[in-house]
Amino acid sequence: MKLQRMNRRALTLGALAVSGALALTACGSDDTGTSTGASDGASTAANSSIKCDDAKGQLLADGSSAQKNAIDAWVKAFTAACPGVQINYKGGGSGAGVTAFTQGTVAFAGSDSALKPEEVTASKSVCTGGTAIDLPAVGGAIALAYNLPGVDNLVLDAPTLAKIFNSKIKTWDDAAIKALNPDATLPSTKIQAFHRSEDSGTTDNLTKYLIATTPENWPYEGGKAWQAEGGQAASGSSGVAAQVKQTEGAIGYMEQSYAKDLTSVSIDTGASAPVKPTSDGATKAIAAAQVVGTGNDYSLKLDYTTKADGAYPITLVTYEIACDKGNKSDTLPATKAFLRYITSEEGQGILSGIDYAPIPADIIAKVRTTVESLA
């Protein structure tokens, strides 16, 4: 009898060990890059103010690749506190995210550009009795990273950037670049300009900057799709960053967190000194943005022509796209809980440490109120 009790006890402990191992595995990151929980998140969960409420199940999302690193950090903290939720954020680009949302295949989407009127109209077939809204959740600088050995402090301005990406300036020793960098030894290396291959909010924001500051050198309408001729294409901010890193003479644009291992251009805005892409510089520029959305929509108008000292002009704001009403009942609790967390002081507080810019306090406070009203 004693031996039987010992055997039963051993089996119970073994089952618990297997169960614990499976739980840790389920909270880890899988081989496909899916954003799930974190096995080392116990201390984070213990110290977190995250409210899980009735959140459970799998939450599918897609969109902006610019915010992917921020989403990964948020998901790690959130799923450590709410282990009943699995979040899969694909990061296929703003265009793909908005399309997936209006087709009803994701619970929310990320976009570096506010919704267009026709996209809002399309959302009404998904948001029963409601409509899609723009909720700004993360800001960031768009870095112009380059690969030019021996040149560490390159300065460019809007006209020169436009001519580079429009294939009008073709070598690094061009007179226009020399004029901005009189103390640099510039090689005659051919410029390899990389742009995004898919519809991208990062593209949209860069081209808005060029249109606003140097329209005579950027004769295009702008938008998520790249319109200039020439150059080379790569997928996502990560793809552009990888091409710049491995190609001598390359330059490309990407959200700042993807450029941390690269060298970035300082922008001559007309301020007292050229400005490098930083979280503080992006926040300073975004703080001057105007809310142009109506009702519960908080789309922003950025000032790309700023000349304020320390303000980095080429910025983006990533919006989380959700239904104000008519969210699917099976994903609403998790969507609401996750959006509540990322817009909270705790969620916003991690951004500057990972090369993103928090949303200005007066704007994010209104967004928090809207998140609580989602239905």
pLDDT band, residue 279 (cuts 50/70/90): very high
Q: How many helices (H) and strands (E) does the chain have?
A: 13, 13
Q: Which residues contact 153 (CB under 8 A, 6 or more apart)?
A: 181, 184, 266
The dihedral through the CA atoms of 301, 195, 65, 131 has a sign that is positive
pLDDT band, residue 49 (cuts 50/70/90): confident
pLDDT at 48: 73
pLDDT band, residue 11 (cuts 50/70/90): very low
Higher pLDDT, 30 or 52: 52
For the entire predicted model, the pTM comes to 0.83
Q: What does the radius of gyration of the chain's CA atoms come to, in whole angstroms?
A: 23
pLDDT, mean over the chain: 89
The letter for the amino acid at 248 is E
Mean pLDDT of 300-306: 96
Contact of 64 with 95, CB cutoff 8 Å? no
Widest distance between CA atoms in the chain = 93
Contact of 203 with 186, CB cutoff 8 Å? no
Mean pLDDT of 23-51: 44
What ranges in 214-255 are assigned the alpha helix state H?
236-246
132-146 and 155-156: which strand pairing?
unpaired
pLDDT tens for each residue of 199-241: 999 999 999 999 999 999 999 999 999 999 999 999 999 999 9
The H or E element that residue 182 is part of is none
Task: Enter the tokens of residue 265.
Answer: 């251009």
Tell whether the model's pLDDT for residue 247 goes beyond 50.
yes
Mean pLDDT of 96-106: 97
3-state secondary structure of 249: coil
pLDDT at 47: 60
Tell whether the model's pLDDT for residue 361 goes beyond 90.
yes
pLDDT tens for each residue of 317-335: 999 999 999 999 999 999 9
Q: At what angle do helices 201-213 and 158-165 cross, to 10 degrees?
A: 130
- Residue 129 burial (C-beta neighbours within 10 Å; 0-12, 13-18, 19+): exposed
Mean pLDDT of 268-288: 95
Alpha-carbon distance of 165 to 161, in angstroms, equals 6
Contact of 339 with 51, CB cutoff 8 Å? no
pLDDT at 53: 87
* Rounded percentage of the chain residues whose pLDDT exceeds 70: 87
